[in-house]
Chains A and B, each alone.
Chain A
Amino acid sequence: MTAATTRRGFLKISAIAALALGLPASAQSSLIQQKTSWALGEIGGKTGLKNASVTPTICTFCSMGCSIDFYTNGSDIIWTRGSPESYINWGALCPKGKVAYQLATSTERLDSPMIRTGPKPPAEEILNAKTWDELVAVIKKYPPQWRKVSWDEALSYIARRLAAILNDWRSSTGAPAQQDGYYYIGAKTPVAVMGSSILTNEEAYLSIKLAAFLGTSNTDSEYRKCHSSTVTALALTYGWGAETASIEDVALADVVLFFSNPAEAHPLSFYYFMKGKKERGTILIALNPNYSRTVEASDIWVPFRPGTDTAILNYILHYAFFERNPPIDQLPEFQRLMSTRWNITQDDLDDLKAMLSEYDAQTVSNITGVPVDMLRTVAQIYVENSGVVTSHKKHGVIQWAMGMTQHTDAVLSIIRAAAIVQLLLGNVGYPGGGTHPFRGHSNVQGATDVQGGGLGVLPGYHAPPGSPFEVRLYQDWKLQGMPDPWNWEVPQWALKSFSTTAPSRGKADAAKALEVFNFYGWRRFELLWGIYCGTVPPDDPVNGKVVCDIPIGTGASETTLPSKIFTGDVKAAFIFGENPAVTDPNIKVTMAALASLQLLVVSDIFETETAWFADVVLPGVSFAEKEGTKTDGNRVIQWQWRAVPPRGQSRPDYWIIATLYKYLRREGAILLPSEAAGVRSEEVKFRKMGQIVFVYERPLRPDYSWDYSGGVGAAQPISDIEAEVNPRIINKEINYTMLIYQGMYDPVRDTFTTMRRNNALRNPGEIDGTFSSTFKVYKNWGWSWPLNVRFMYNYDSLQIALGHPDVVTAAGKQWTVTGETGEIIDEYTGEYRPAFVPGHNFFVPKAFKRRLSGVADLFGGVDLMTFIRTGQLSFPGKFVVETDGGVQVLDFETFASSTGMRYPWANDALYWDEETMTFPAFLKRIFYPGVGWRQFKPTYENMRSLLRQYYSQLGDLKAATLKVIQEMGGWYKGYTFQWPIHAEPVEAPIVDFAIQYPTLAWLNPYNIEVLEQEPSILQGKMVGVALEPNELQAQLQPLGITGITVVMTTNRLTETWHSGSMNRRIPDLVELVPRPFVKIPRKLAQQLGVSTGDYVELWTARGGLKMRAYVTDGEAYLEVNGQDVPVVNILWSWSFEGPDAGPSANFISPDVVDPVTTIQETKAWLAVIRKAPSV
């Protein structure tokens, strides 16, 4: 009985008593003046809305790219709402977006730089923790004890400490001079630079630029752990590692397979999914062990065992080839696509079909736990609504996120399988047929692009030089006049190390195209960063001394970094806006590694769990306090305006990094190889008609490249902070360094195209006008890469939809096009013309043509460093023209007036014609040396039977695995992985399957380290893996832990975000989901005697933690191959910091990784669950 009820009961009686006494009913009415009208915002105290300034920002949470309008008065935020004009969110927002402004107003924000005064938690103590509570006790024993300092003191401190570390390393190794007498550095530099997907493009770009100037390839970011597998698998199959189409595409689909949870992770995407449902009855099929809010909104729930996605995808194709009548390869559209757009032969197809024949419905049902009738229904629906079957009247979309990407077979199997399904069913490249991985963070696509995807790759995915040989080849390419692949002749001396089918001029193959794409990138960095990479002297590529400021080689990834720290290979790290102490798998190991660094600098807006281990913490700003560009999950780049000034002493990361550079330089932390080698300028020379022609001298100006002060025209700085470091100048620099981002600044009209907020569709006759109006694609909003293409590989979709090609008038010409072409500034007129003619196809623009091949340096030799800062066009470069009379060297004016080419400085006179479109999608893809499926099959059988034999002999899967590797000389030895096959996760719930479908993990030696608990500091700690239930149970037995073995997977909710460092500090979101919990199936709960809200313990090979159980029928309890397999879903956005703390799921997740990209396997692993003895 509560007080309220008592009171209420009393009120009732008294009311009735009053009535009984006959009081007049409306006795008081005439005395009351009722309020009946309200001013806007009166109730919630939002006055002043009418006079407020309105600034559009881009939401900082997911990758949809929603616009949030900030209504402000000076630095006060009155209100925020979704921008009504945005074609992405049309005024709406999700709950996180709605309260995102609280990141700018939170009282927990860091407002000053801080230096640690307390000791760090010792690595040994951290690693000894067996439970989450023990870990927290260790960590809290060693608080950082921050001392607030000025920016000057913080940056000086960092610079001094880093200079000491690097100078020690230089004096002990001789770097940057190498033993071979050359000057370069890279993977061995003991510094790592990490982060982040929440930075703007300009900030993320500066972080990678800083890494390059520090000479390290140890660069990475959040994308490693979310979609690195997507990026790699898609890039190697289609040409580009990104979502193939923008969000409008999903509304054109007739069926969608969700291997993900976008209703929660990307709520606004459901505007377009629902649009499709309403307009064309799109069938939504949700494959997920968990009854997510996406499943709620879908037509059917297909619960399946985590990590068996490949089997399901392979069955879809099995149905198409073997159950369907006629099989799809007898359909004319299949045959057309096979002969024109895929790289396979009939023999390849036969090989693929031989592999697929093994994935019949019953087998796949046994693997996945999905009943046969449900599997068949899904396959039927998907295949019958596909492009090849309907002649492109209908298409299907595959949509995924972490559920697919975080597996040890993500690249080689799961995502490859999705990519192949989309190709073979004729979906990809046609509206409504996109391959739609949804990226996580607001700018994870952009960070991936501008950081090249990490590991030392350069911005724009230009791979760095792999060796001094490659620098020599590059120098020779420069001497050839920086030709396109068709004009490049691979020198005879290089053919031993560089393999191509078309070495001579006039021909190109993929090898040449991809190599020139890299060279082209390096040249851009030389020009914009004021650095050098080549030989000295420049006209002797064969024997000259190699001097390269671009770091050479491949660095450590985020997931493998801890191991490099333990071995002392990395001693210092910068982490910008990222929280690996929560987001890494097996975080105990990461925490121990962070604590072992000699110098850790963290920049963030809150004191994150990672900051707890830092030596210096720098206060960054929220999204609303800075400006710049962000690239949403489907490659649309939007400008984000600054709504309010930074709080306290906090500063945007562009200011932090550019200012830090100056301090690092002053203290001698940065020393470029060219400086050590005494190179101060480059003599640009071309080899023409057997002689060396001097073109011009280019002075090296590395420090000038870091001067982003000032700004003119459209780049006027917006405040004093931006006057010191102006992101608009950085934006222009990116426009010129990264081929794929070219066009986001229009140098002819001095406008930033990413600032366009026009939601009108284009009209037929305009560039992509028919495309835009037919498929309702908003091409006038922002800019997308490449060259404003929204639906990639749309080579002939327009022709197929219209029945004839389309005609476009632009730059004074008519263009016949068949698909979406994108647009580029015409080098003759300065107007826009269609870029990829007749339409965008696979692997473009990696393969391009250059009108200035052999004629001039990039962009006609214009001084770009000066141009992006001052707007002044000057041409130190010259134009080398071969005439009957010999070789002539002309200045820009002479060249421009004789050729009419006045705008080479805008786009380097690049163009794409039919010939550049000839590279097909790599349906067949060789990942390792070896043979195809049919030839490999006997080896595979042998591997499986050996594994079974050793397992039954030894009773230990780990020992059996190592024995097989030893005996066969490797793991999966001899298979190319040209087709995806099902492989079990490292921690497999059914040992029979672990033997029948061996994990791919052991292809990567790093995973063997994890298996054997290397390096030595990890020996004897609870940090390893248990390969099957028996092994896990045996490991837990000494601790007295018994219970039911379950398959674990991780989850995020609409209301939570990633590491939780943001959402846990927004009280409105905390109110909705106050603490982490695990979702467990009702049947399991009954077996455990657990009711909803009770605490359960989860124990793994990494330790144990305790959480509340949410009991539901909406969590899979599967029957797999006749065996019960309960799935438990754990929320992971919590840790020990902030007002809403809770156990971290990554305390118990394994750190085994994908062999290709090293993404961790956090979506399928094993735990033992039991009811918590007491709370």
Chain B
Amino acid sequence: MVAVNFPPADQGFAVLVDIDKCIGCRACQLACKDWNGLAPVKTTFSPTFTNPQSFTAQDWKVVFYYEGAAKKGLATPAGEVVFEQVDVAPLPAQCLHCAAAPCARACPSGAISVTPEGAVVINKDQCIGCGFCENACPYDVPRRGSDGKYYKCTFCVDRIQNGREPACVEVCPTGVFTFGPASQIVQMAQSEAAKGRTVYGLNLNPYVGGQVRWIYVSSDRKAFAIKQHFPSDAVVPTNEAREVLQEIVPPLALVGAVALTAVGFASWRRARIEEQKSQQKQKEQ
């Protein structure tokens, strides 16, 4: 575990992801693979159309598809007519680059650096494959590769440090992603929220630093995708507890032991959830 210096959330870069503009083409998913030299992965039929069905060590960006119901209004000369229909919303997902990334805090080998741009990057050479990052991530992002090391989106750090926007941003046909200085992007997100659109990524749990750098916005119509995709609270309780303990254990070892019991229980519960998730994943593959 290393002490990590996080740039302030309003410094560095951020991205606004407007899923109303997304046509679900998955160019971003392949642009990511292409730029980062990630090998194709053998997949099979996906019941959700999402493929692979979640991140892999070779797929750092995945477009998820959600089916829901929506109210669709149409302007006619006689006024607005509303039809209630099925809807499908694609949601391009990747590491959200938390303002204070718990994975970086959790990494015992110091393999996860956070750059001044706000990119949270796993350094392959220093990764020991312990999986603390995976455990700490509230968004289920880091993935263990066949070499035992962990992989995830780097915010295209080798592009944004060299004057280019991330590969997925560059490739998008419909301008879903707006890449820019964090202060500006956060402001844009806030003004979208003020217009009544659903925003995900601001005002989150302190566990992730209160906000993330990839902020999602959508109309009411597509908001079901955001609700289905993101956890209601951006926190991993076991890891949060551990972090709290870390601060108080030395003076209070006894209390710590008691806490361990509590955390152990929480961990057991989470393991159960993980197990279920993992079984589902296996079935899909």
User: Which A residues lie at the B interface, using CB under 8 A?
Assistant: 1-2, 4-5, 7-9, 11-13, 15-17, 19-20, 22, 25-29, 32, 34-46, 79-82, 89, 91-95, 97-99, 263-264, 267-268, 270-271, 274, 281, 283, 291, 293-297, 299-301, 373-374, 377, 380-381, 384, 1054-1055, 1067-1075, 1077, 1092-1093, 1108, 1110, 1112-1114
Checking B59, B90, B157, B238 against A43 with a beta-carbon cut-off of 8 angstroms, the contacting residue is B157
Query: Does B141 interact with chain A (Cβ within 8 Å)?
Result: no
Mask of B1-44 contacts with A, CB within 8 angstroms, 1/0: 11100000000000000000111111101110111111011111
Contact B242 A1074 (CB under 8 A): no
Residue among B25, B37, B78 with max Cβ neighbours from chain A (10 Å): B25
Chain A residues whose C-beta falls within 8 Å of the C-beta of B205 in the assembled complex: none
State in angstroms the CA–CA spacing of A35 and B123 once bound together. 7
Contact B40 A1071 (CB under 8 A): yes
Query: If the complex has contacts A11-B130, A92-B27, are A38 and B158 also in contact, measured as CB distance less than 8 A?
Result: yes
Mask of B224-268 contacts with A, CB within 8 angstroms, 1/0: 000000000000001000100111011001001100100110010
Checking A79, A94, A293, A1112 against B90 with a beta-carbon cut-off of 8 angstroms, the contacting residue is A293
Chain B residues whose C-beta falls within 8 Å of the C-beta of A27 in the assembled complex: 1
State in angstroms the CA–CA spacing of A374 and B81 once bound together. 9
Chain B residues whose C-beta falls within 8 Å of the C-beta of A294 in the assembled complex: 23
Q: Within the complex, what minimum Cβ distance (angstroms) separates B137 from chain A?
A: 12
Contact B37 A92 (CB under 8 A): no
State in angstroms the CA–CA spacing of A411 and B171 once bound together. 38
Chain A residues whose C-beta falls within 8 Å of the C-beta of B52 in the assembled complex: 1071
State in angstroms the CA–CA spacing of A278 and B184 once bound together. 21
Contact A270 B173 (CB under 8 A): yes
Q: Within the complex, what minimum Cβ distance (angstroms) separates A44 from chain B?
A: 4
Contact B171 A300 (CB under 8 A): no
Contact B116 A267 (CB under 8 A): no
- Excluding A271-B175, A294-B23, 20 further A-B contacts by CB distance (< 8 Å) are A7-B131, A13-B267, A15-B242, A28-B1, A28-B2, A28-B108, A32-B126, A34-B2, A37-B115, A44-B38, A80-B34, A82-B171, A92-B172, A93-B171, A263-B23, A296-B89, A1054-B26, A1070-B40, A1077-B45, A1112-B67
**22 contacts across the A-B interface (CB closer than 8 A):** A4-B144, A5-B271, A15-B242, A19-B256, A22-B256, A25-B1, A28-B109, A29-B110, A38-B157, A38-B161, A79-B35, A82-B171, A264-B25, A293-B25, A296-B89, A1054-B24, A1055-B26, A1068-B34, A1072-B26, A1073-B51, A1110-B47, A1112-B86
Query: Does B154 interact with chain A (Cβ within 8 Å)?
Result: yes
Q: Within the complex, what minimum Cβ distance (angstroms) separates A98 from chain B?
A: 5
Checking A39, A92, A1067, A1112 against B40 with a beta-carbon cut-off of 8 angstroms, the contacting residue is A1067
CB within 8 Å of A: which B158-175 residues: 158-159, 161-162, 164, 170-175
Query: If the complex has contacts A5-B274, A1071-B40, are A377 and B76 also in contact, measured as CB distance less than 8 A?
Result: yes
Checking A12, A283, A297, A374 against B75 with a beta-carbon cut-off of 8 angstroms, the contacting residue is A283
9 tightest A-B CB contacts, nearest first: A44-B37, A32-B110, A1067-B40, A38-B158, A40-B162, A1113-B86, A263-B23, A29-B2, A44-B36
Query: If the complex has contacts A34-B113, A39-B162, are A93 and B27 also in contact, measured as CB distance less than 8 A?
Result: yes
Contact B47 A95 (CB under 8 A): no
Q: Within the complex, what minimum Cβ distance (angstroms) separates A771 from chain B?
A: 26
Query: Does B146 interact with chain A (Cβ within 8 Å)?
Result: no
State in angstroms the CA–CA spacing of A928 and B237 once bound together. 77
Contact A95 B43 (CB under 8 A): no
Contact A40 B164 (CB under 8 A): yes
State in angstroms the CA–CA spacing of A95 and B26 once bound together. 6
Q: Within the complex, what minimum Cβ distance (angstroms) separates B24 from chain A?
A: 5
Chain A residues whose C-beta falls within 8 Å of the C-beta of B194 in the assembled complex: none
Query: Does B192 interact with chain A (Cβ within 8 Å)?
Result: no
Contact A1071 B43 (CB under 8 A): yes
Chain B residues whose C-beta falls within 8 Å of the C-beta of A1067 in the assembled complex: 40
Chain B residues whose C-beta falls within 8 Å of the C-beta of A1112 in the assembled complex: 67, 86
Contact A99 B158 (CB under 8 A): no
CB within 8 Å of A: which B105-164 residues: 108-110, 113, 115-116, 121, 123, 125-126, 130-132, 134-135, 144, 154, 157-159, 161-162, 164
Chain A residues whose C-beta falls within 8 Å of the C-beta of B279 in the assembled complex: 2
Checking A20, A98, A1114 against B249 with a beta-carbon cut-off of 8 angstroms, the contacting residue is A20
Contact A22 B253 (CB under 8 A): yes
Q: Within the complex, what minimum Cβ distance (angstroms) separates A53 from chain B?
A: 19
Contact A380 B162 (CB under 8 A): no
* Residue ID in chain B nearest A34 by CB atoms: B113
Query: Does B193 interact with chain A (Cβ within 8 Å)?
Result: no
Chain B residues whose C-beta falls within 8 Å of the C-beta of A34 in the assembled complex: 2, 110, 113, 123, 126
Contact B49 A1114 (CB under 8 A): no
Range for the number of chain B residues in contact with chain A: 35 or more
Chain B residues whose C-beta falls within 8 Å of the C-beta of A11 in the assembled complex: 130-132, 135
Contact A268 B37 (CB under 8 A): no
Chain B residues whose C-beta falls within 8 Å of the C-beta of A91 in the assembled complex: 170-171
State in angstroms the CA–CA spacing of A791 and B174 once bound together. 24
State in angstroms the CA–CA spacing of A688 and B250 once bound together. 115
Chain A residues whose C-beta falls within 8 Å of the C-beta of B253 in the assembled complex: 20, 22
Chain A residues whose C-beta falls within 8 Å of the C-beta of B2 in the assembled complex: 26, 28-29, 32, 34
Query: If the complex has contacts A19-B256, A37-B161, are A1068 and B30 also in contact, measured as CB distance less than 8 A?
Result: yes
Checking A13, A29, A43 against B37 with a beta-carbon cut-off of 8 angstroms, the contacting residue is A43
Q: Within the complex, what minimum Cβ distance (angstroms) separates A901 from chain B?
A: 48
Chain A residues whose C-beta falls within 8 Å of the C-beta of B164 in the assembled complex: 40
State in angstroms the CA–CA spacing of A391 and B192 once bound together. 36
Checking A5, A92, A380, A1069 against B275 with a beta-carbon cut-off of 8 angstroms, the contacting residue is A5
Residue among B2, B115, B263 with max Cβ neighbours from chain A (10 Å): B2
Query: If the complex has contacts A20-B256, A1074-B44, are A12 and B173 also in contact, measured as CB distance less than 8 A?
Result: no
Chain B residues whose C-beta falls within 8 Å of the C-beta of A42 in the assembled complex: 158
State in angstroms the CA–CA spacing of A431 and B1 once bound together. 62
Residue among A38, A80, A381, A1055 with max Cβ neighbours from chain B (10 Å): A38
Q: Within the complex, what minimum Cβ distance (angstroms) separates B208 from chain A?
A: 19
State in angstroms the CA–CA spacing of A264 and B263 once bound together. 48
Chain A residues whose C-beta falls within 8 Å of the C-beta of B144 in the assembled complex: 4
State in angstroms the CA–CA spacing of A759 and B81 once bound together. 40
State in angstroms the CA–CA spacing of A901 and B119 once bound together. 67
Contact B44 A377 (CB under 8 A): no
Contact A81 B170 (CB under 8 A): yes
Query: If the complex has contacts A94-B25, A1055-B26, are A296 and B110 also in contact, measured as CB distance less than 8 A?
Result: no
Query: If the complex has contacts A13-B264, A1072-B51, are A293 and B23 also in contact, measured as CB distance less than 8 A?
Result: yes
Q: Within the complex, what minimum Cβ distance (angstroms) separates A750 from chain B?
A: 36
Query: Does B203 interact with chain A (Cβ within 8 Å)?
Result: no
Contact A2 B271 (CB under 8 A): no
Contact A268 B173 (CB under 8 A): yes
Chain A residues whose C-beta falls within 8 Å of the C-beta of B47 in the assembled complex: 1092-1093, 1110
Checking B74, B115, B264, B278 against A381 with a beta-carbon cut-off of 8 angstroms, the contacting residue is B74
Checking A15, A82, A300, A374 against B132 with a beta-carbon cut-off of 8 angstroms, the contacting residue is A15
State in angstroms the CA–CA spacing of A1074 and B52 once bound together. 10
Query: If the complex has contacts A267-B23, A293-B23, are A5 and B278 also in contact, measured as CB distance less than 8 A?
Result: yes
Checking A8, A16, A41, A97 against B134 with a beta-carbon cut-off of 8 angstroms, the contacting residue is A8
Chain A residues whose C-beta falls within 8 Å of the C-beta of B109 in the assembled complex: 28, 32
Q: Within the complex, what minimum Cβ distance (angstroms) separates A577 from chain B?
A: 24
Contact B3 A274 (CB under 8 A): no
Contact B49 A1110 (CB under 8 A): yes
Chain B residues whose C-beta falls within 8 Å of the C-beta of A283 in the assembled complex: 74-75
* Residue ID in chain B nearest A1073 by CB atoms: B51
State in angstroms the CA–CA spacing of A5 and B267 once bound together. 12
Chain A residues whose C-beta falls within 8 Å of the C-beta of B3 in the assembled complex: 25-26, 29
State in angstroms the CA–CA spacing of A1074 and B47 once bound together. 12
Q: Within the complex, what minimum Cβ distance (angstroms) separates A1092 from chain B?
A: 4
Query: If the complex has contacts A12-B267, A20-B253, A44-B36, are A274 and B74 also in contact, measured as CB distance less than 8 A?
Result: no
Query: If the complex has contacts A16-B242, A94-B173, are A299 and B72 also in contact, measured as CB distance less than 8 A?
Result: yes
Q: Within the complex, what minimum Cβ distance (angstroms) separates B210 from chain A?
A: 21
Contact B278 A4 (CB under 8 A): yes
Chain B residues whose C-beta falls within 8 Å of the C-beta of A1077 in the assembled complex: 45
